[in-house]
Amino acid sequence: MTGTKIASTAAAGTGSGPFLLDVRGLSKTYRSSDRTVEAVRDLTFGVAPGELACIVGPSGAGKTTLLKCVAGLLPPSGGEVLLDGARVLRPPENMAVVFQEYGRSLFPWLTVEQNIDLPLRQKKVPKRRRRELVAEALESVGLADVPGAYPWQLSGGMQQRVAIARAVAYEPAVLLMDEPFAAVDAQTRAELEDLTRELWRRLGMTVLFVTHDIEEAVYLGQRVLVLSAAPTVIMEDTAIDLPAEREQLATRSAPRFAELRAHIYSQVQRAKTYHRADPAGRPADPAGDEADHAEARP
Ligand SMILES: Nc1ncnc2c1ncn2[C@@H]1O[C@H](COP(=O)(O)OP(=O)(O)OP(=O)(O)O)[C@@H](O)[C@H]1O
Ligand SMILES: [Mg+2]
């Protein structure tokens, strides 16, 4: 891959505003009586308002840990997360998260409509507006005809659409997504990717999207950040200079897409053995006993 043609910042961690989301020197170490795990060592990056940034990294790199810290669900061990200049100390009102495990993120005893409505009630949105938001969100994910169904009566892909509808109805300024399509089939995944881009462009949200799928990151993102193996740092920050109009077949078969995919792939390979003390990166272990999770789809 020719480095000159790809606009990237190796081991970036750079950042001068104006960012909506500003992660500064974030670290997280899990401590229990018998074990200490340094998951995130030192992460610094910013996401501009309205930007769609993807994060890829080896399995166990600390991607979910990072998102939980950003979402205010987990206190960092060091550093800070700022949302619109204010430090995140608890889940912010204007942020929503879509988790990978839709099966566990929807309440089985509530209907689709009630699942989407619940956070709006907590936000104290007036009833009439809530009804509008729920109906619009269901319409936008193509589920207008199942408001009264229970999650367990729906397919996996439909349940994930409900989770997306719930996040969108909440009208968040920032949407965090943690490998949201990992458990659905390839066709549904492609549809949900397009839905995500369509909603992002229409609603002007800022999106931070975590995936282990390099192709997905390149297809979706305006930017791809590559995380090193734990303890995690940002190894690479690549601008995805594909046209804004993306289409599954045409975009994925474009020569530029292939170049970007190959570049990110090589960075993820490097990420598996990257250590701060060794910024050049040691050669990747060809046996690759871990982290094969982060790869391009065949
Ligand atoms: N609650 C916890 N207590 C202790 N260690 C944890 C906890 N959660 C995560 N870890 C550890 O922190 C490291 C990073 O985990 P994390 O789940 O953030 O990785 P990930 O990049 O999201 O992985 P994957 O790609 O498999 O989802 C791992 O070594 C993991 O074992
Ligand atoms: Mg994870």
Q: Rounded to whole angstroms, how far apart are CA atoms 62 and 42?
A: 11
What pLDDT, on a 0 to 100 scale, did the predictor assign at position 192?
A: 87
From atom 23 of ligand 1, which residue's Cα is the shortest distance away? 60
From atom 3 of ligand 1, which residue's Cα is the shortest distance away? 30
pTM of the model: 0.86
What pLDDT, on a 0 to 100 scale, did the predictor assign at position 289?
A: 37
Give 73 Cα–ligand 1 centroid separation in angstroms: 14
Asked if residue 49 has its Cβ within 6 Å of ligand 1, the reply is no
What pLDDT, on a 0 to 100 scale, did the predictor assign at position 257?
A: 98
What pLDDT, on a 0 to 100 scale, did the predictor assign at position 8?
A: 67
Non-local CB neighbours of 205 within 8 Å, separated by 6+ positions: 50, 172, 173, 174, 175, 199
Asked if residue 69 has its Cβ within 6 Å of ligand 1, the reply is no
**Residue among 68, 31, 27, 32 nearest 210 (CA):** 68
From atom 8 of ligand 1, which residue's Cα is the shortest distance away? 65
What pLDDT, on a 0 to 100 scale, did the predictor assign at position 17?
A: 57
User: Average pLDDT of each block of 10 consecutive residues along the chain (298 residues)?
Assistant: 55 59 94 90 93 91 92 96 94 89 86 95 94 91 90 90 91 92 85 90 94 95 91 89 96 97 92 61 40 42
Tell me the ligand closest to 70's alpha carbon. Answer: 1
